[in-house]
Amino acid sequence: MIPSDHFVRFYNEVFKFLDARNALEPYYKEISRHQELHCLELFRREGLAGLRKYYEKIRIEENCGMELESLPDRIILRMTCCPSLSKVLDSDAAPCPKYCDHCGGWGIPLYIKCGIYYVGNMISRTEPRCEIVYTESREVARQVYRDILDAGYSPDLIQSDLDDWEEIEKNRVERA
Amino acid sequence: MLRYQENNELHRDFHGTTDTTLNYIAEHFGEEALKEILRKTGRDVYKSIREKLARGDASELVEHLNWFFFREQGKYRLTVDGDTITFEVMECPAIRHLRKLGLEPSPYVCLQTSEVNAGMCESTPWESEVEVLGDGRCVQTFRRKAVGK
């Protein structure tokens, strides 16, 4: 058994294997389908409130340094100490350079299905911190994206589902 | 002493993600590819255990087995008898959690154990064996190879 404590170090080995074959994206989609078990119904039923409930649980179970700020039109998740990247950096195996990409990788397909916009700023792929904004407003998401760029971050560090806005809008309306 | 000191909350749902990953890799890249990843995990992630085994010191391996199964409330018996370590698992915490989630354990769920254990022993005087008894039960054995083997 790989202890649940050590899963992310195994995950890192999987990423390195798949990245060498340019095959990360389909794997993220599979993980996303698996995560529907935990999130889909909750997010569809409760929207951003459900998302907050899920990450409150994750904050405890995964021992995150995490701030969750709820505003009327968005939730801001500030990861001040990401336990996942922290463990991968504290490993005798080399980290996958794209390790942080998995977060949006599995999350985005799920958020699209739930009618939620996601704009994540990795800040740095070698530091265990990031900032993610979840919103049901396309305008808010676009502004957040622009603000990150204006702050000088490379587009390579930003993940978002803005390109899928038509699908998000459709799913948000259906959910409501 | 353990290389990875984990003593806070647990996120057991990671067993579900592991299970999904085992199936995905085997189905898309084959069982040999899955073995390669698992063995590399054993060899590289648990480098500290492997290097101690190479020096004839099994203390971290024993502590690792005991601590992480204790943390996950597995039912097990760990016996050290000379150069043989026997780890009898009466209830695997990973399989128990998969069933709690309503997931069918992957056909490769026990391969993760046998290959990770083999990776820990790679290039050391130790060898490992896993006898799967079914339904979350197994006997994992680590044995120092006879001289000349």
Say if residues A160 and A118 touch (Cβ distance below 8 Å).
Answer: yes
How far off is chain B from A118, nearest CA to CA, in Å?
A: 22
- In a domain? residue B57: yes
pLDDT of residue B146: 82
- In a domain? residue B9: no
pLDDT of residue A171: 97
- In a domain? residue B41: yes
Cα(B118)–Cα(B108) distance, integer angstroms:
15
Please name the amino acid found at residue A121: N
Residue range B97-102: average pLDDT? 98
Q: Convert the pLDDT of each residue in A64-78 to its tens digit.
A: 999 999 999 999 999
Say if residues B140 and B121 touch (Cβ distance below 8 Å).
Answer: no
| Partner residue facing B17 (CB), from A5, A26, A31 | A31
3 state SS for B81-103: ECCEEEEEEEECHHHHHHHHCCC
pLDDT of residue A176: 79
Strands A158-160 and B84-91: unpaired
Whether chain A has a CB inside 8 Å of the CB on B45: the answer is yes
- In a domain? residue B6: no
Total domains in the fold of chain B: 1
- In a domain? residue B75: yes
Q: What is the CATH number of the domain that holds B72?
A: 3.30.1380
Residue range B131-140: average pLDDT? 96
> How far from the centroid of its chain's Cα atoms is residue B133's Cα?
15
Whether chain A has a CB inside 8 Å of the CB on B133: the answer is no
pLDDT of residue B149: 53
The whole domain housing B104 covers: 14-144
Residue range A83-92: average pLDDT? 98
Q: Do A2 and B112 touch (CB under 8 A)?
A: yes
Residue B53: pLDDT above 70? Answer: yes
Q: Do A34 and B20 touch (CB under 8 A)?
A: yes
Percent of chain B whose pLDDT exceeds 90: 95
- In a domain? residue B67: yes
Residue range A106-116: average pLDDT? 98
The whole domain housing A129 covers: 4-175
- Tell me which chain B residues have a C-beta less than 8 angstroms from the C-beta of A10: 18, 21, 37-38, 41, 45
Total domains in the fold of chain A: 1
Residue B147: pLDDT above 80? Answer: no
Say if residues A98 and A24 touch (Cβ distance below 8 Å).
Answer: yes
Say if residues A160 and A127 touch (Cβ distance below 8 Å).
Answer: no
Whether chain A has a CB inside 8 Å of the CB on B9: the answer is yes
